[in-house]
């Protein structure tokens, strides 16, 4: 576990980052709306998700120099267990307790590892610059997320979630670079053919980023939470079902 003071500092930094980003991109009205939603979140929330699909690419067909960001001491590190994470943290590579959009309570990433998920990380030196998660099975997906997209791991569907870029390294192409040269090779090595990825409809920046590298929206679904009950309200196609995959 990190030092409590460090954890509190990271949490406050995350809240201030979200406040500034929301106010800048959407204005005061949306900031007020999201503040109210944040306060009510322990009791009730309702969200719409856009489900995307993309063919997994062979990175050998791409020129890595066309995508590699100008960042010194860059490294990809993929982690699938707490033991691996602890060894990396002992070397200064921390991600389990980093306050990202999904990990704002500093516990969710540990839960993902408990379920066998793999953290697909990019580090600038020892600083976490990018992270995305590959979920290994339908059972794991149901244990770590409210989302219930139609997915068949046996036929090569793969599920990823939680792409996050450190604000310090945004607008440097890290999402595309990680997708083509870390995520895709990892998923291909495990028999993956297509990636399924739900995105909260209010995360417009993430939606634009994934659609810029070939993800296609094909359905939408709603999730409602009231106290401890959670409801996934099915999928409604946005386009012909033949466009999936």
Q: How far is CA 67 from CA 125, 171, 173, 213, 219, in A?
A: 18, 12, 7, 12, 29
pLDDT value of position 180: 97
Cβ burial of 41 (10 Å; 0-12, 13-18, 19+) is exposed
Q: Which residue has the tokens 């954890």?
A: 7
pLDDT value of position 36: 64
- Summarize pLDDT for 27-54 with one digit per residue, the tens: 676 667 666 666 655 666 778 889 999 9
Given a contact cutoff of 8 angstroms between Cβ atoms, the answer to whether 83 and 192 are in contact is no
Measured CA to CA, the distance from residue 31 to residue 25 in angstroms comes to 10
The arithmetic mean of pLDDT across residues 164-170, rounded, is 93
The arithmetic mean of pLDDT across residues 207-223, rounded, is 91
- The phi and psi torsions of 159 (rounded to 5 degrees) equal -120, 125
pLDDT at 234 over 90: no
Superfamily of domain 41-243: Gcn5-related N-acetyltransferase (GNAT) (3.40.630.30)
- The phi and psi torsions of 197 (rounded to 5 degrees) equal -145, 105
- Summarize pLDDT for 87-119 with one digit per residue, the tens: 999 999 999 998 887 877 788 999 999 999 999
């Amino acid at each position: 576990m990190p030092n409590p003071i460090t954890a509190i500092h990271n949490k406050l930094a995350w809240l201030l980052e979200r406040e500034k980003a929301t106010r800048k991109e959407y204005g005061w009205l949306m900031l007020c709306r999201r503040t109210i939603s944040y306060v009510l979140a322990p009791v009730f929330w309702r969200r719409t998700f856009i489900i995307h699909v993309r063919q997994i690419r062979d990175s050998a067909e791409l020129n890595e120099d066309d995508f590699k960001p100008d960042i010194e001491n860059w490294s990809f590190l993929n982690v699938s267990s707490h033991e691996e994470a602890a060894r990396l943290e002992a070397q200064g590579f921390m991600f389990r307790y980093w306050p990202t959009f999904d990990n704002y309570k500093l516990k969710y990433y540990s839960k993902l590892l408990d379920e066998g998920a793999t953290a697909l990380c990019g580090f600038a030196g020892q600083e976490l610059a990018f992270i995305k998660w590959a979920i290994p099975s339908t059972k794991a997906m149901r244990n770590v997320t409210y989302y219930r997209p139609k997915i068949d791991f046996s036929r090569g569907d793969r599920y990823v979630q939680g792409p996050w870029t450190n604000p310090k390294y945004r607008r440097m192409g890290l999402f595309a670079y990680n997708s083509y040269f870390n995520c895709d090779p990892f998923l291909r090595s495990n028999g993956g053919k297509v990636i399924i990825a739900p995105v909260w409809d209010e995360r417009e920046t993430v939606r634009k980023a994934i659609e810029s590298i070939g993800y296609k929206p094909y359905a939408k679904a709603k999730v409602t939470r009231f106290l401890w009950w959670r409801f996934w309200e099915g999928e409604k196609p946005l386009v012909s079902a033949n466009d999936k995959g």
